[in-house]
Amino acid sequence: MAVNAENLDQVAPGFGARVVDSVRRFFDGDVFYSFRRSPITIIAFVVTMVLFFASFLAPWIAPHNTNDVASLNLMDAELPPAWMEVYGVEGRADFLLGTDNQGRDVLSAIMFGMQISLLVGFASVLLALVFGTILGLISGYVGGRTDAIIMRIADVQLTFPAILIALMIDGIASAVIQGAHGAEVSFVVLILAIAASQWVNFARTVRGSTLVEKNKEYVQAAKVIGIHPIMIMVRHVLPNVTGPVLVIATLSLALAVLTEATLSFLGVGVPVTQPSLGTLIRIGNDFLFSGQWWMTIFPGAALVILVLAVNLLGDWLRDALNPKLR
Amino acid sequence: MFAFIVQRLFQAILVMLAVALVAFSLFQFVGDPINNMVGQDATEEQRDALRERLGLNDPVPIQFAKFVINTAQGEFGVSYRIGQSVDIILADRLPATLELVFVAAILALLFGVPMGVYSGLHRDSILSRLFQTISLIGISLPTFLIGILLILVFGVWLQALPTFGRRGLVDIGGWETGLLTIDGWRSLILPATTLALFQLTLIMRLIRAEMLEVLRTDYIKFARARGLKSRAINYGHALKNTLVPVITIMGLQIGSLLAFSIITETVFQWPGMGLLIIQAIQFVDIPVMSTYLVLIALFFVMINLLVDLLYFVVDPRLRGERGGAH
C-alpha cells in the first residue's frame, strides 16, 4: 500500500512489465521484509503450504485411498502407529499413523479429511468475505438508515458466539430440509451457516475503512466529476480496504476450519460419507477408552497444527500491514 | 440515561420477537405436529379434532401471538423425542449446565485475571512468555480437543477422574446439585476445566493488552512522577481502568460459556441443556429446539442489557453526559 506511492506519476507500463514490476516490488517491500525477519512466520508459512499441498493432492499422494471402500481390509483394522506395539499388535510401516476400526489408514484419512475441512473453510470464508464486504461498503458509503439497519443487525449478531449461530443455522436448516438430505445439501447448509456466522467481521472492518476513505479528497473529486457511486466504491474505496480484509480472511479461515470441525464433531456438520477432520475425531473418540488413541489424537493434532499455522500467518499479516507498528 | 435504557429495552424486545418468529416458523415449516403426536392408526377425524383443539386451524398471526404468549408464560410444548413437557425437561437439565458454567467462569476469572495482570506488568519475564505461549495454544485448541485430551490423560491413562456423566447429586428443594459431594466435584472437574480453559486464555490476553495500554497513558506517568507506590499505581489506577472493556468481554463470555457448554457437555456426556439441544437437533425435536433458541436469546439479551447498565456503574464519565444520543 505504502510501497507504490512514488510510482504513481510514472507512465503506465505494459501489463507484463507491470506484473514483473509488482512482483519485484513485493519482494523489495516492507511486507516481505517483515516476513523474512520473522522465523516463526516462515515456519508457519511452510507448514501451511505443506498441509495445503498434502490435502489437495491427497488423491495422488496419499498412501491409501480411504474413499475406496473396496480397498479396505478388516484384517488391517486397529493397527497402532508404525513405531508402536499396543496389546501385542505391532504397527506396520505401510500404515504410518495406524488404522481405524475399519482398516482405514489414519494418515490418508487425515489428508482427505483436511481437504474437506479446507474446502468448507475456504468456501465459507469466501462467501462471508463477498457478502460482508459488499454490505460493509454499502453501509459505510450510503450511510443513514441503510447503515443503521445493517450495523444494528451486525451488533445483535455479534452478541452471540459465532459457533452458536453456525450451530443453530445448521441445525434449523437441516431440520427444515430433512426430506432431501443429500450430501451436497448438507455441505451447502454447512458452508452457509459458517459464512453467516462470519460476515459481520468483514462488514464492520470494511465499513470503518469506507467511512475514512469516503471523506478523502480523491473520493470527493471522483464524486464531483460524476462517477457512479458503485464505480467509486469498487475502483477507489475497495482497493484501500484489501489489507484489513485479507487479514480478517486469514484469521477467519482458521476460525471456519475450527467451526467446521466442531460442528462435525457434534455430528451436525459434514455428512459421514465424506469425513472431515472433525468427523474423524468424533469417530476416533469412541475408541479412546479402548486405548486406541491414535484414531483421535492424530486428526486432532493435524487440526491444531493447521489452525495454529494459519492463525500465526494472520497475526503476522495484521502486524505487517499495520503502518502504526512499523 | 433513562432514554438510553429505554432504547436498549426496545431493541431487546425486538430481538426477542425476531427470535420467537424463527422459533415459531420452525413449527410451521418442519413436519406436521399432528403426525408427531398421534399414533399411526389415528383416524382422520381424530387428527382434525386434535388440530382444531391445538388451534392449528387459526390464522398464522394469531397462532404466532398465542405462541409468544405461551412461551412468555413458560409453556413450551411437549418434546417429540422424550414425550415430556419441555419445561419439565429443561428444569431437569438446567442445574447441570448452570453449575458447569458457574464453576468454569470462576475458574477462568480466578486464574485468568492474575495471569493477565502479571504478564501486563512484567511483559518480558519468562513467566509471562510462558503464559503467552499457553494462551496461544489455548486459543488454537478447540474445546472438544481439550476435552478429549483431558479424558485421555486423566481418564484413560491415569484413571484418576470420571470422564462422563454427573455423579454425587444431592437434591435441595428440586435443585439437584453436585457441588456438595466429593464425587460431584470429581465428575465436574474435567468438564469445568475444559470449558474454562478457552475463556481463561481470552481473559488473560485481554487484561494483559488493556494493562499495557493503560500503563502507557499520561495519568500513569503523572502518578509515577508524584511518587506513588507502584502497587497503588498498578492496582489502584491501572487495573481499575482496564475494567470497562473487561466487564464487557466477561459479560459476553458468560454467554459464550453457555454456548461452548454444548461442546463440553457432548464430550463428557454431561446431562445439561447443551447435550439436550444436540440430541434435539439430531432427532429434529422442534419443541426443544425452539425453546432452547428462545431461552438462549433471552439469556444473551439480558446479559447485554446488564453489561450496558454496568457501564454506568463502573465508568463515571458516562453518567453525566450520555443522555439518549448514542
Report the 10 Å Cβ neighbour count for A294: 23
Q: Which helix (H) or strand (E) holds B177?
A: strand B175-177
Residue B84: phi and psi, rounded to 5, are -115, 160
Report the 10 Å Cβ neighbour count for A131: 16
Using an 8 Å Cβ cutoff, are A41 and A308 in contact?
Answer: no
B282 touches chain A (CB under 8 A): yes
Residue in chain B nearest A267 by alpha carbon: B282
* Residue in B137, B139, B256 closest to A161 by CB: B256
Kindly state the average pLDDT of the residues B246-263: 79
pLDDT in tens, A28-61: 777 777 777 778 888 889 999 998 988 888 788 7
Are the Cβ atoms of A160 and B289 closer than 8 angstroms? no
C-alpha cell at B112: 485468568
Read off the pTM.
0.81
Report the 10 Å Cβ neighbour count for B255: 22
C-alpha cell at A147: 447503515
- Percent above pLDDT 90 for chain B: 0
Q: What ipTM did this prediction achieve? A: 0.77
B296 touches chain A (CB under 8 A): yes
Report strand pairing: A89-90 vs A85-86. Answer: antiparallel
Residue in chain A nearest B257 by alpha carbon: A161
Kindly state the average pLDDT of the residues B292-308: 83
Residues near B236 by Cβ (< 8 Å), separated by ≥ 6? Answer: B228
Asked whether residue B183 carries a pLDDT value surpassing 70, the answer given is yes
* Cell numbers 397462532: residue: B63
Mutate which of A160, A283, A296 to disrupt the B interface (most B C-beta within 10 Å)? A160
Q: What is the largest CA-CA distance in chain B?
A: 88
- Cα separation of A116 and A276, whole Å? 5
Asked whether residue B278 carries a pLDDT value surpassing 70, the answer given is yes
User: Smallest CA–CA separation between B140 and chain A, in Å?
Assistant: 6
Amino acid at site B69 = I
Considering only CB atoms, which chain B residues are within 8 Å of A267?
A: 278, 282
Using an 8 Å Cβ cutoff, are A306 and A290 in contact?
Answer: no
* Residue in B11, B136, B259 closest to A161 by CB: B259
* Residue A131 pLDDT grade (very low, low, confident, very high; cuts 50, 70, 90): very high
pLDDT in tens, A82-100: 666 666 666 666 666 777 7
Least confident of A80-89, A262-271, A302-311, B4-13: A80-89
- Cα separation of A284 and A298, whole Å? 10
> Which of B272, B264, B271, B274 shows the shortest CA–CA distance to B150?
B264
Report the 10 Å Cβ neighbour count for A115: 21
User: Smallest CA–CA separation between A27 and chain B, in Å?
Assistant: 29
* Residue A274 pLDDT grade (very low, low, confident, very high; cuts 50, 70, 90): confident
Mean pLDDT (chain A) is 80
Are the Cβ atoms of A152 and B11 closer than 8 angstroms? yes
C-alpha cell at A294: 491414535
C-alpha cell at B139: 486459543
* Residue in A159, A265, A308 closest to B304 by CB: A159
Mutate which of B101, B145, B146, B286 to disrupt the A interface (most A C-beta within 10 Å)? B145
Are the Cβ atoms of B142 and A303 closer than 8 angstroms? yes
User: Smallest CA–CA separation between B301 and chain A, in Å?
Assistant: 8
Report strand pairing: A89-90 vs B170-172. Answer: unpaired
C-alpha cell at A35: 516476513
Are the Cβ atoms of A175 and B260 closer than 8 angstroms? no
Radius of gyration of chain B, Cα coordinates, nearest whole angstrom: 24
Using an 8 Å Cβ cutoff, are A250 and A315 in contact?
Answer: no
Least confident of A12-26, A95-109, A120-134, A281-295: A12-26
* Residue in A168, A175, A261 closest to B142 by CB: A261
Are the Cβ atoms of B256 and A261 closer than 8 angstroms? no
Using an 8 Å Cβ cutoff, are A244 and A209 in contact?
Answer: yes
Residue B165: phi and psi, rounded to 5, are 80, 180
pLDDT of A323: 62
- Percent above pLDDT 70 for chain B: 89
- Cα separation of A282 and B263, whole Å? 12
Considering only CB atoms, which chain A residues are within 8 Å of B101?
A: none
Mean pLDDT (chain B) is 79
Amino acid at site B99 = E
pLDDT of A240: 80
- Which residues 3-32 of B are in CB contact (within 8 Å) with A? 11, 15, 22, 26, 29-31
pLDDT of A120: 92
Asked whether residue B322 carries a pLDDT value surpassing 50, the answer given is no
* Residue in B266, B289, B296 closest to A175 by CB: B289
Distances (CA, A) of A293 to A228, B145, B151: 61, 12, 11
B136 touches chain A (CB under 8 A): yes
Asked whether residue A125 carries a pLDDT value surpassing 90, the answer given is yes
User: Smallest CA–CA separation between A195 and chain B, in Å?
Assistant: 18
Are the Cβ atoms of A304 and B259 closer than 8 angstroms? no
C-alpha cell at B9: 429495552
pLDDT of A118: 92
User: Smallest CA–CA separation between B219 and chain A, in Å?
Assistant: 23
A303 touches chain B (CB under 8 A): yes
pLDDT of A182: 65
Cα pseudo-dihedral A234, A240, A245, A246, rounded to 10: 110
C-alpha cell at A169: 443455522
User: Smallest CA–CA separation between A153 and chain B, in Å?
Assistant: 9
Kindly state the average pLDDT of the residues B137-155: 83
- Cα separation of B153 and B182, whole Å? 20
> Which of B209, B227, B234, B213 shows the shortest CA–CA distance to B112?
B209
Are the Cβ atoms of A168 and B293 closer than 8 angstroms? yes
Least confident of A93-102, A138-147, B66-75: A93-102
Higher pLDDT, B102 or B49: B102
- Cα separation of B199 and A258, whole Å? 16
Amino acid at site A16 = G
Q: Which helix (H) or strand (E) holds A316?
A: helix A294-321
C-alpha cell at B79: 418434546
- Which residues 34-63 of A are in CB contact (within 8 Å) with B? none
Least confident of A224-233, B73-82, B202-211: B73-82
Question: What angle do the packed helices A162-176 and B273-282 form, to 10 degrees?
Answer: 30
- Cα separation of B167 and B187, whole Å? 6
- Cα separation of A47 and B22, whole Å? 43
Asked whether residue A312 carries a pLDDT value surpassing 80, the answer given is yes
Asked whether residue A187 carries a pLDDT value surpassing 80, the answer given is yes
Distances (CA, A) of B111 to A268, B102, B215, B256, B304: 33, 14, 21, 18, 24
User: Smallest CA–CA separation between A310 and chain B, in Å?
Assistant: 10
Using an 8 Å Cβ cutoff, are A123 and A189 in contact?
Answer: no
Q: End-to-end CA distance of chain A: give it in Å, rounded.
A: 13
Using an 8 Å Cβ cutoff, are A41 and A312 in contact?
Answer: yes
Residues near A49 by Cβ (< 8 Å), separated by ≥ 6? Answer: none
User: Smallest CA–CA separation between B10 and chain A, in Å?
Assistant: 13
B170 forms bridges with which residues in the sheet?
B177
Report the 10 Å Cβ neighbour count for A323: 10
Asked whether residue B9 carries a pLDDT value surpassing 70, the answer given is yes
